[in-house]
């Protein structure tokens, strides 16, 4: 399991620098008195929407396929996989989790041009398409 560790190092000029490292153990013993550490776990989930899967963390803003919800409403999304400090959970274990998101906006994407033609037949067809989407912010990932 990957655990993020923030290590603060105090220079001779007494200014703090943050070095972000990725370790495979939850704790690392540091001998110097001038160094302190904070261990944090990054919990993430893989959600399912419109035959697509998205890796999300709390606070992420994600564009999903159009959802039938108003701006400001809370939406519960299907969770396929969850990773936290206890390990990775899939299938039945992941089904006990939920990802709650807040709808930020309903909009359409940039226009794409679809141009079809048949050579030597003077047959041309030009179309535009704007895919609707819903922008959501992940508020929490928790047990149901």
What are the tens digits of pLDDT across the range 25-35? Answer: 333 444 444 44
Report the C-alpha gap between 72 and 125 in whole angstroms: 40
DSSP state of 14: S
- Structure tokens, 16: 């703090």
Which band of pLDDT confidence, cut at 50, 70 and 90, is reported for residue 91? Answer: confident
Are residue 27 and residue 66 in the same domain, yes or no?
no
Which band of pLDDT confidence, cut at 50, 70 and 90, is reported for residue 139? Answer: very high
Query: How many folded domains does the chain comprise?
Result: 2
Over residues 93-108, mean pLDDT? 94
Are residue 11 and residue 72 in the same domain, yes or no?
no
More confident residue, 17 or 136: 136
Are residue 28 and residue 13 in the same domain, yes or no?
yes
Are residue 33 and residue 103 in the same domain, yes or no?
no
Are residue 59 and residue 73 in the same domain, yes or no?
yes
pTM above 0.75, yes or no: no
User: Which residues share a beta bridge with 1?
Assistant: none
For the ranges 56-60, 120-124, 135-139, the lowest mean pLDDT is seen at 56-60
For the ranges 13-22, 73-82, 101-110, the lowest mean pLDDT is seen at 13-22
Are residue 15 and residue 70 in the same domain, yes or no?
no
Range of the domain at 79: 44-143
Are residue 26 and residue 70 in the same domain, yes or no?
no
Over residues 28-43, mean pLDDT? 52
Report the C-alpha gap between 55 and 49 in whole angstroms: 11
Over residues 78-92, mean pLDDT? 88
């Amino acid at each position: 399991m990957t655990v993020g560790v923030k290590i603060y190092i105090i220079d001779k000029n007494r200014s703090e620098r943050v070095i972000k490292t990725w370790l495979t153990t939850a704790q690392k013993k540091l001998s110097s008195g001038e160094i302190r550490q904070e261990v944090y776990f990054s919990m993430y989930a893989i959600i399912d929407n419109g035959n697509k899967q998205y890796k999300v963390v709390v606070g992420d803003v994600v564009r999903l396929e159009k959802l039938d919800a108003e701006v400001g409403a809370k939406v519960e999304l299907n969770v396929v996989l969850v990773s936290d400090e206890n390990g990775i959970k899939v299938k039945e274990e992941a089904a006990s989790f939920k990802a709650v998101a807040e709808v930020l906006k309903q909009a359409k994407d940039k226009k794409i041009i679809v141009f079809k033609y048949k050579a030597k037949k003077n047959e041309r067809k030009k179309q535009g398409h704007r895919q609707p989407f819903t922008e959501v912010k992940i508020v929490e990932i928790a047990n149901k």
